[in-house]
Chains A and B, each alone.
Chain A
């Protein structure tokens, strides 16, 4: 029997509700309806009084979560789509993220962001916000790419005393399956080498890990062996594992689904340039989405985001420098 990525997210929440009386779930349509993506299906019935439907008020949802955390609870807030967290931006970056530094009192909230693009979702249901939140001090930003990580990193997220932005990729929800939720569990702050290689390193996270692996597969027939590093968390960022990989391969491509200006891939490239310039045999490359809103039409969308084909193109450029 296989487990999907979204099963893992649901199971993690069930485990947390079962084992920790401080945990409650809050979000739009997450109660009887089970959430827009069914990540909370059946949890209201299993845990009455612990799962609450919220009004369509993203700002107030996070305000409520921070207040609850001050009172010692551990809320998990589901944003219906990561895109809508922009309405809660103030509460996330100014209220939650500054709270511990200012007052000495941590606010353990977990904000689940259904992230990234799927065909036909368009400009307002496709965004990748991880780089924006990672820019602010006081937040931990997680980007699980496997079923096991989806489960264990959500468990870890709630265990932190600090606010966590948990970016779950919508494309992976039902597409990604595993035999069990128990993969090799790594601590937060440690990246994973998901495929070894010697000619170039691709650093990716979330759904882009799978696109990078497919790109690596297709280059194998030409004799190129590509190493793929899954960052797992973009903040903290495990630059050691990245540097160690670049030391082996001499070449770096950072792939992210987010918009191209700044962000996670820029951070990776700049840190490698800073700390590992001598390791590089070619200029490090970045590959992101295009610098437009995420388009609706599947043909435009497929050309907007990094794909195995476009990652291959970037890799060929890198490998032949």
Chain B
């Protein structure tokens, strides 16, 4: 297991980092808006934010190519979704219940997906997406289209305790699938701290047990994420089998917006991982001359307008009509008259 130091530099990396940062920014500004809408009572159901996880998530999303790769996000992956290519309107339509969203009001918030575009729609049962992504890659292998493809999913420290995580990762390892599983260890699964969740020193140790690659990274450090996560994706893409990446960070919000996270002790909030990855990333971009402060402020203004438009559009759109809803969970219609 290695803790890699950032080594990226040069022109290619400049574009990569600017792109990652831009997705981080879009996610943060969008999610700030979602939080306001929730607090104003405009969103029905929960709001789950990725604040503090943007560097990890956006780096992963940027490392993948939509149309070829699979990205199975979990609840704190707005930045990764954006980086992978999900339009903001998919998010606002789902949160605001527009019938034109990808889930058409049938599912909400972060449960959205477009499986046909390589973005499975997560279910709430943690760890379940690991084997599903493995299955998508397994199918591509059978079809002969696997070469150069990577499937990735993010989960949290809590999900690493599930049987589904174990079964899925073990299966992916047995099949040597090109898969990257990123554990965002944000130190709390809802309110449960790491010491009540697992007993190993670092979750990355589990990689050895599965016989797969394992890398650890400081998830608050964009340059470190860019170095380590792209390396994991590269290894998987080049036939190195599944890769486990454990990113250390702190969730900078509650589990959901209903949760004030008062269980997080002050010393953790004030510690190293309590720093805001977006501020760190901005500083890194400016220090390395990848972007100027003025440029970043201009991006902020652009993104804020983009978010307003996406919210306004979704708010204008009608919700689903229960009288026109097709109340069938099957795609098949049985011809026998009353069979149901």
Contact = CB atoms under 8 A, between A and B. Distances in A.
B167 A65 contact: no
B61 interface: no
Interface string A51-84: 0001101111111111111111100000000000
A-side interface size class: 35 or more
A55 B131 contact: no
Interface in B152-166: 163-164
Interface string B299-311: 0000000000000
A256 to B, nearest CB: 19
A65 B339 contact: no
B135 A63 contact: yes
B336 A236 contact: yes
Contacts of A91: 128, 131, 164
A142 interface: no
A162 B287 CA distance: 54
A105 interface: yes
Given A189-B339, A190-B339, A97 B329 contact: yes
A65 B142 CA distance: 13
Which of B102, B132, B143, B170 has the largest count of A CB atoms less than 10 A from its CB?
B132
Interface in A133-189: 137-138, 140, 160-162, 187-189
Interface stretch (A1-9, A215-223, A237-245, A258-266): A237-245
A237 B340 CA distance: 6
Interface in B101-140: 102-104, 106-107, 111, 113-116, 120-121, 123-125, 128-140
Contact of A188 (B106, B121, B135, B334): B334
A61 B106 CA distance: 26
A188 B339 CA distance: 9
Given A102-B103, A138-B329, A70 B120 contact: yes
A239 B120 contact: no
A98 interface: yes
Contacts, number: 159
A68 B136 contact: yes
Contacts of A140: 330, 332
Contacts of A54: 171
Nearest to A186: B336
Contacts of B338: 238-240
A30 to B, nearest CB: 15
A163 to B, nearest CB: 9
B163 to A, nearest CB: 6
Interface in A227-260: 236-240
B140 A71 contact: yes
A49 B142 contact: yes
B50 interface: no
A236 B135 contact: no
A321 interface: no
A301 interface: no
A60 B170 contact: yes
Contact of A102 (B121, B131, B142, B335): B121
Contact of B134 (A63, A104, A106): A63
Nearest to A163: B330
Nearest to B104: A104
B336 A190 contact: yes
Contacts of B329: 97-98, 100-101, 137-138
A66 B170 contact: no
A24 B142 contact: yes
Nearest to B111: A102
B170 A57 contact: yes
B106 A101 contact: yes
Interface of A: 24, 49-50, 54-55, 57-73, 87, 90-91, 94-95, 97-106, 137-138, 140, 160-162, 187-190, 236-240
Given A64-B134, A71-B143, A137-B329, 10 more contacts: A60-B130, A60-B131, A63-B130, A63-B134, A67-B134, A67-B135, A68-B138, A70-B135, A73-B139, A100-B330
10 shortest interchain CB distances as A-B pairs: A67-B135, A63-B131, A189-B339, A71-B139, A64-B135, A60-B167, A138-B329, A57-B167, A236-B339, A137-B329
